[in-house]
Copies of this chain bind each other. A is one copy, B any other.
Amino acid sequence: MYSLGELADRLDLAFSGDASRTIEGLASLESAGPGDITFFSERRYLPQLAATRAGVVILASDYVAQSPANCLISDSPYLTFARVSRLFDNSARPEPGIHPAATVAPGAQVDATASVGANAVVESGALVEAGAILGAGVYLGRETRVGENSCLHPQVVVYHDVHIGRDCVVHSHAVLGADGFGFAPGPEGWEKITQSGGVRIGDRVEIGACTTVDRGTLEHTVIDDGVIIDNQVQVAHNCRIGKNTAIAGCTGLAGSTIIGANCTLAGGVGVVGHLEICDNVHITGMTMVTRSITEPGSYSSGTPMGTTREWKRNAVRFSQLESLQQRLASLEKQR
């Protein structure tokens, strides 16, 4: 619980209205009540701003006059809202210490301020740094590292030789460091190539639930500082993902993909292996990336949705595009 004045102080922002107004929680413009703080960041929501019952609205100074509520004034209302949300984060932090039902190998080092949950298993050579949290049932293989204040939610599995930096969050059922999909065709079938590289994850990385990041074949798979990855994403062996890149759910990166910094991949994207994507690239949802991208910008593939009836007709024509083009060329010659 904060007063408007306290929030303005903590975030070093100006405000207008009643400094003593007490804020108990966050809500949307539409559902906020007098005890809530909300934010306004897009002009098209002006009607909702005018009608809001919120106690405080975070907005740019230009809109103060249009707000019926007290204002917390910010050039970046959405960013300020993110910061306020963290002030109100009341999720319980587990007590430091190792749960009696955890299994920590003698050769592992767990900082006294770290927390290891029930049924967690920490193998020899693992290093868990100050303030780190291993949720219930987390598995840490040999020679792994979890940096300061990083949090692994219940049942994350970390294979051997995977290093995770500080201030990271890894959600449940993520698997870090499973074998890459490396096989050579032999006379009797596929022969496995030992995946002897590890995984190196930087600081402030977030990895979603059921996301998989495979270990490298010879060198490490690398995820740089500040990368955020959503749920159900597949990062294959030897990938390298640059700083602050964001990858949305259900995206799959094939082996040895290199992605630059500050990229955003929307959901369901697929990237063919051995490609390179430069910095500052945006890929729209469900795009199939089949070649390297060397220019910043936005890229897409796919076809638009229609009714199934319409779509079927057009889809048949897709299969005839080459002949359609030839018919057109033939007409052009006859002009």
Contact = CB atoms under 8 A, between A and B. Distances in A.
A177 B246 CA distance: 21
B254 A252 contact: no
A185 B290 CA distance: 28
B300 A83 contact: no
Contacts of A325: 317, 320, 324
Interface stretch (A1-9, A42-50, A59-67, A264-272): A264-272
Interface stretch (A12-20, A108-116, A126-134, A308-316): A308-316
B252 A250 contact: yes
B159 A157 contact: no
Given A155-B137, A270-B285, A181 B305 contact: no
Contact of A194 (B85, B171, B300, B321): B85
A278 interface: no
**Copies in the assembly, this chain:** 3
Contacts of A310: 319, 322
A226 B89 CA distance: 32
B314 A319 contact: yes
A210 B175 contact: yes
Interface residues of A, number: 130
A157 B156 CA distance: 10
A315 B304 contact: yes
A279 interface: no
Given A189-B243, A284-B308, A212 B210 contact: yes
A26 interface: yes
Contacts of A249: 181, 212, 234, 236, 252, 254
Contact of A153 (B159, B243, B250): B159
Contacts of A219: 28, 31
A79 to B, nearest CB: 4
A103 interface: yes
Interface in A223-262: 225-226, 228, 230-232, 234, 236, 243-244, 246, 248-250, 252, 254
Contact of A270 (B157, B226, B286): B286
A157 to B, nearest CB: 4
Contact of A250 (B196, B270, B284): B270
16 contacts: A27-B218, A28-B219, A91-B194, A101-B119, A119-B121, A119-B137, A153-B159, A178-B231, A210-B210, A232-B232, A234-B249, A286-B288, A288-B303, A298-B307, A300-B312, A302-B311
Given A181-B230, A310-B319, 7 more contacts: A88-B196, A183-B206, A190-B246, A230-B236, A231-B234, A301-B303, A313-B322
